[in-house]
Amino acid sequence: MDRRQVLKTVAVGAAAASVFPKPAISQGTRQLRMATTWPKNMPGQGTSAERMAANIGKWSEGKITMRVYGAGELVPAFECHDAAGSGVCDMYHGADYYWQGKLKALNFFSTVPFGLTGTETNAWLLAGGQDLWDEVSAQFNLKSFAASNTGVQMAGWFNTEINGPDDFKGLTMRMPGLGGEVISQLGATAVTLPAGEIFQALQSGTIDATEFVGPWNDLTLGFFQVAKYYYWPGIHEPATVASCGINLDVWNEMSDWEKSIIEAAARYENDMLTAEFDVNNVRALDQLINEHQVQLKRMPDDVIALMREAAQDVVSSAGNADPLTKKVYDHWIAFREQAAAWTGISVQGYLNARSL
């Protein structure tokens, strides 16, 4: 982020903070405000944030209450991370790779092409990844948690068929994070858009293709109305963490009991929303194919192979971008090697056997 952007962010934060004061604490009750990157009550991430807020209120017996703001209600979608860190609000809910421009390390706490599965991600966080996340988040005056995992995503929606690597040349596609850098190496132009802006961009031709998450979210957002080719697998996002974070000053002044409520609510959502994706993606994919005549297609092998090759360069380059990111990357890559050995003979071995 350059100096002008920093000054702009600080100015916006200061102005908003004067309108939205610090969290009120009266008679032992704390009121928190969470800004999200999602449209208000969007099925999945949006409703998960609302449920998290409700559970915090319930489990604290009303001692902690939270108001959830959808994208644009308090701050623009991609400004919620800055807003929480600066005190404009108290918490954010989004995906940390949206803010990789601040620090490349943030990608590893969201998703990485050809990276960890959802189960492996949870294991990495338990095995030291969360400590690294705390160190990274502290740079932005935040304490962050995993609040869901989408599992393997879809490769995306296209207006034209993808028959080989050349079909990415000249394509403008909504794809954030390191996945966007991978398709850029194939000749595409990657852009980052919040959920609420994707449909219009695809409909108007501003973008030629998009990925978001998977059938459940994609059906809700109506992408089938403006694109008919739906590709898999989503190697760019094998397991994407939706994160929530709290202003570090607010976190540090909380009691251990209050902290345990916040942590428990995030952990609950990390399990619950992942299961909801598994349940609803099945139903939504059937609806997309059988009711809306969407054409489901597998990305060609040569495209996947080229993406894998590009991903090695992209991820390695990102991992060595600065000393803190390298510290995260070295830990992450070592864990991925260990996890792959076990996943290969356990999960992959079983799935291969089941498909015989």
Three-state SS string over 125-160 comes to HHHHHHHHHHHHHHCCCEEEEEEEECCCECCEEECC
Amino acid identity at 107? N
Mean of pLDDT values over 273-279: 96
- Residue 8 pLDDT > 70: no
Q: What percent of the chain has pLDDT over 70?
A: 92
User: CA 153, CA 267: separation in Å to the nearest integer?
Assistant: 21
Beta strands in 241-303 (DSSP E): 241-247, 295-298
Say if strands 172-174 and 142-149 run parallel, antiparallel, or are unpaired. Answer: unpaired
Mean of pLDDT values over 122-132: 98
- Residue 18 pLDDT > 70: no
> Per residue in 49-91, pLDDT tens?
999 999 999 999 999 999 999 999 999 999 999 999 999 999 9
Mean of pLDDT values over 338-342: 95
Q: What fold, for 3-149+239-278? A: D-Maltodextrin-Binding Protein; domain 2 (3.40.190)
The tokens describing 186, both together, are 């194939």
Among candidate residues 175, 154, 195, the one with its CA nearest the CA of residue 49: 195
Q: What are the two backbone dihedrals, phi and then psi, of residue 144, each rounded to the nearest 5 degrees?
A: -115, 155
Show me where the domains of the chain are located: 3-149+239-278
Per-residue pLDDT band for 203 (boundaries 50, 70, 90) equals very high
The chain-wide mean pLDDT, for the chain, equals: 93
> What does the angle CA 185 – CA 196 – CA 38 come to, to the nearest 5 degrees?
95
> Per residue in 30-53, pLDDT tens?
999 999 999 999 999 999 999 999
User: CA 181, CA 198: separation in Å to the nearest integer?
Assistant: 19
> Per residue in 90-105, pLDDT tens?
999 999 999 999 999 9
- Residue 23 pLDDT > 90: no
> Per residue in 207-258, pLDDT tens?
999 999 999 999 999 999 999 999 999 999 999 999 999 999 999 999 999 9
- Residue 327 pLDDT > 50: yes
Mean of pLDDT values over 334-356: 95
Among candidate residues 48, 8, 36, 52, the one with its CA nearest the CA of residue 263: 52
User: CA 34, CA 266: separation in Å to the nearest integer?
Assistant: 13
pLDDT of residue 25: 55
pLDDT of residue 12: 37
pLDDT of residue 28: 73
> Per residue in 290-315, pLDDT tens?
999 999 999 999 999 999 999 999 99
CA distances to 34, 62, 249, 316, 329 from 27, rounded to whole Å, are: 21, 11, 20, 51, 45
Say if strands 241-247 and 156-158 run parallel, antiparallel, or are unpaired. Answer: unpaired
Q: What percent of the chain has pLDDT over 90?
A: 92
Cα radius of gyration (the chain): 20
Run of H or E residues at 191: strand 189-191
